[in-house]
Chain A
Amino acid sequence: MKIREEKLNDAVICILEGEININNSPDLRKAFDGLIKRNEKKLVVDFSGVSYIDSSGLATLIEMFQRLKKIGGALRFSNMEQKVKNIFEVTKLHKLFEIFDNREAALKDF
């Protein structure tokens, strides 16, 4: 998995690529830790390059959602492939997270 960050006004876009699994989800958590430390409160996670996410990846996103909520921030997702979207639907997490078709729509929602 590759993680890339872009800053756009007061929001951060976190662009993920590859498979998010038990071996690399701690790296994603570390990247999220960095954002919290820098007091970033608006985060869009761009899934356009993500082919698969496992339970540890989902748990990492849930934790980040909780942390951002605690400090008055917000988390939005964009560009999710259908097969990744299916994982969110099976686990009913699509009801918890805000999922948008593209970055622009996600950014507009803040």
Chain B
Amino acid sequence: MSVKECKAESIISLRNVSKFFQGKTVIDDVNLDIYCGETFVIMGCSGSGKSTLLRLMTGAIRPDKGSVALKGRDIAKISSEELDEVRKTFGMTFQYSALLDSLNVEENIALPLREHTQLAEEIIKIIIKMKLSLVGLRGYEEYYPSQISGGMRKRVGLARAIALDPEIVFYDEPTSGLDPVVGGVIDKLIKDLSVKLMITSVVVTHDMHSVFEIADRISMIHKGKVVEVGTPEDIRNSKNEYIRQFINGSPSGPIDFFREDIGMEDVLDL
């Protein structure tokens, strides 16, 4: 299990990070500090840049400007081999679980253990049972992804993410596509793992119920910029008009869903 000593220090640190895709700024001079053991939620609309931010933090893509440090190491500057080593210290869950359909639950969770360790098969099987027990799925080893519900698949994805006892777990839209009750189960699981195992959790979501349920701190992203960072209480009471619109789910406000910067000339390529 994790439960390592957790000091009040920044475990993930972004400094002046920018990312451009095809000449367009998708992440714009972002500065963020995420502290050991906290559950940090990144919220924002579709296309706000929150998933790009997550990909930058996991080293899936590198910033065009600035630095992304995990436990003090700038992952934008290290070699692929070193990045592989850093990746062993964090786990990741995906929006659509990303389980391999041809493998059963046990084999899916075993993947990182077989790939990254020299552990005996007997030990791997015991670890899998422990992880399944932690996510409330003991006895599901032989099931295939197609034989279990969406919520269970998400929990298997989580069991796989924590197989190597990571210090950080990144969650990409952990409750999307789930009914509110199952979403609540996933929220509780994220919070439990964070509190009991002292795992640092970084959650990307636009599920407002989930945000206030699990977050120690919240960051609102809009057009690649950090609008505000604060506790759930700070965000609830924020006067920021972007945050007010997002929380209330209002179609009118400063967040423009109909891109005013694109005129008909652009659409018709005139």
Q: Which residues of A contact B (CB under 8 A)?
A: 22, 25-26, 29, 52-56, 58-60, 62-63, 83, 86-87, 90-92
Contacts and interface: CB of A to CB of B under 8 A. Distances in A.
A22 B123 CA distance: 11
Given A58-B1, A90-B196, A26 B130 contact: no
Contacts, number: 54
Interface of B: 1-5, 117-120, 122-124, 126-127, 130-131, 133-134, 163-165, 196-197
12 contacts: A22-B165, A25-B123, A29-B120, A54-B1, A54-B165, A58-B1, A59-B119, A59-B123, A62-B126, A87-B1, A90-B3, A92-B133
A59 B3 contact: no
A59 B110 CA distance: 14
A72 B193 CA distance: 36
Find the residue from B2, B3, B5, B122 having the highest chain A CB count within 10 A.
B3
Nearest to B4: A52
B119 A22 contact: yes
Contacts of B120: 26, 29
Nearest to A59: B126
Contacts of B127: 55-56, 59
Contacts of A59: 119, 123-124, 126-127, 130
A86 B122 CA distance: 25
At the interface, is chain A mostly helix, strand, loop or mixed?
helix
A90 B197 contact: yes
**Which residue, B5, B119, B164, B197, has most C-beta atoms of chain A within 10 A?**
B119
Contacts of B119: 22, 25-26, 56, 59
A22 B122 CA distance: 14
Given A22-B117, A55-B165, A56-B117, A86 B123 contact: no
Contacts of A25: 119, 123
A60 B125 CA distance: 11
A44 B31 CA distance: 51
A63 B1 contact: no
B48 to A, nearest CB: 35
A56 B2 CA distance: 11
B84 to A, nearest CB: 15
A64 B168 CA distance: 30
A91 to B, nearest CB: 6
Nearest to B125: A59
B118 A26 contact: yes
Given A25-B119, A54-B1, A56-B127, 8 more contacts: A26-B118, A26-B120, A55-B131, A58-B130, A59-B124, A90-B3, A90-B197, A92-B133
A44 to B, nearest CB: 21
Contact of A63 (B4, B123, B164): B123
